[in-house]
Amino acid sequence: MVATSPPPTFERSTIEHVASAAGVSVATVSRALRGLPNVATATRVRVEEVARELNYRADPAASRLAAGRSRAIAVVVPMINSWYFSNVVAGAEAVCAEDGYDLLVATAPHSTSRDDVIATAESLQRRVDGMIFVEVSLQPEDVEVLQRRNLGVVTVGQDTGVYPSVRIDNVEIGAIAVRHLLALGHRRIGILGAQAEDPAWFDVPGQRIEGARRAMADAGIVLDPELVAEGEFTVEGGHDAALALLHRPDRPTAIFALSDEMAFGAVVAARDLGLGVPDDLSLIGVDDHEVAQVLGLTTVRQHVVEHGAVAARALLRRLGATRRDGWPITNGTIAVGATELKIRGSTRVP
């Protein structure tokens, strides 16, 4: 074997350089560096040393091609520049970084369009070993396609019944929030909600409202549909919706906003009308956004970063157990994220 001269450090060294410099075969280098068994400790140490000296790292493209795995995953989100999604991505990113996986972010254009979800998945096909769908609704047909493609999938926010998922109990969230208001003595409770994007499969607002309805029913109160306003999950939407509610002659003494951001809008709306929070209006949100802390907003906290992290971990675990010949058959296991009531100053007795 002809010794390949080691390249200057600023050039890319290949496995061959390492092999010849260490006086072993490329196969051994490959094994040694990946921590595979059947490598003499002395050999492994030497190889690692040489690799470090040469600043060698396996070319991902080559190793992907040869191994059939990419050590990369994708998070598919409707958008990234929103509090919720960017936090989920942050959680996933941290886990990936830890395990040396690449993280691609992809936005699924309009999740209303069936084709787009599949198109996104197709385009990600061989570039990643698996994907996390965050609040992207997968229909049974989609799941079927994904299964045929033999892809690693984890969902956040939806239960496909097939893939692992991390979710929160949205009905319970609604109930927690409203029970808190009821306990304080509120009877006329308004809700800042939103239209379900895909009512059949994916109705976060509907579930939270359902929880609210049940809590009220338990207290012998009927939820007045007139007191449910659309806030679109945005600050501005929440502002407008709250304004509408507060302009009513029989305005509510408390408002349950399905998200903190809508609650912020409500805070401003109250101020606009000269109403004090909590003096004239109690307000409770969901999320525990940073601003909620400063604002003193009572809220039902969810641990969003953790959702992303748990999803990523589930996916990576699954990938780890994978062989080229297929995924281990695992039914969708579900991790339900914790939620807790965080009482601050925005709620009190009416």
Partner DNA sequence: CTGAAAGCGCTAACAG
Partner DNA sequence: CTGTTAGCGCTTTCAG
Q: Are the C-beta atoms of residues 212 and 178 closer than 8 Å to each other?
A: yes
φ and ψ of 301, to 5 deg: -80, 140
| Segment lying near a second copy (by CB under 8 A), choices 96-104, 224-232, 244-252, 325-333 | 96-104
Instruction: Give CB contacts under 8 A, 24+ apart, made by 40-46.
Output: 46/22
φ and ψ of 342, to 5 deg: -120, 100
Name which of 32 and 266 has its Cβ closer to a second copy: 266
As a whole number of Å, the CA-based R_g of the chain is 26
Name which of 35 and 220 has its Cβ closer to DNA: 35
Residues between 119 and 158 with contacts to a second copy, criterion CB under 8 A? 122-123, 125-127, 148-149
Name which of 254 and 297 has its Cβ closer to a second copy: 297
20, 28, 87, 111: which one contacts DNA (CB under 7 A)? 28
| Segment lying near a second copy (by CB under 8 A), choices 23-31, 209-217, 286-294, 320-328 | 286-294
Name which of 58 and 77 has its Cβ closer to DNA: 58
116, 224, 236, 280: which one contacts a second copy (CB under 8 A)? 236
Q: How far is the CB of 24 from a second copy (least distance, A)?
A: 23
Please tell me whether residue 229 binds a second copy under the rule CB under 8 A: no
| Segment lying near a second copy (by CB under 8 A), choices 24-32, 57-65, 175-183, 186-194 | 57-65
Number of residues that bind a second copy (CB under 8 A): 52
Cα distances from 165 to residues 51, 127, 168, 183, 317, in angstroms, run 39, 22, 10, 33, 13
| Segment lying near a second copy (by CB under 8 A), choices 30-38, 88-96, 170-178, 322-330 | 88-96
Please tell me whether residue 138 binds DNA under the rule CB under 7 A: no
Alpha carbon 196 to its chain's center: 18
Name which of 143 and 291 has its Cβ closer to a second copy: 291
Give residues in contact with DNA (CB under 7 A).
1, 12, 14-16, 23-28, 30-31, 33-34, 37-44, 56, 58-59, 62-63, 65-68, 324
Which residues of this chain interact with a second copy, rule CB under 8 A? 10, 12, 55, 57, 59-62, 64-65, 70, 72, 79-83, 85-87, 89-90, 93-94, 97, 102-107, 122-123, 125-127, 148-149, 234-236, 239, 264-265, 268, 290-291, 293-296, 305
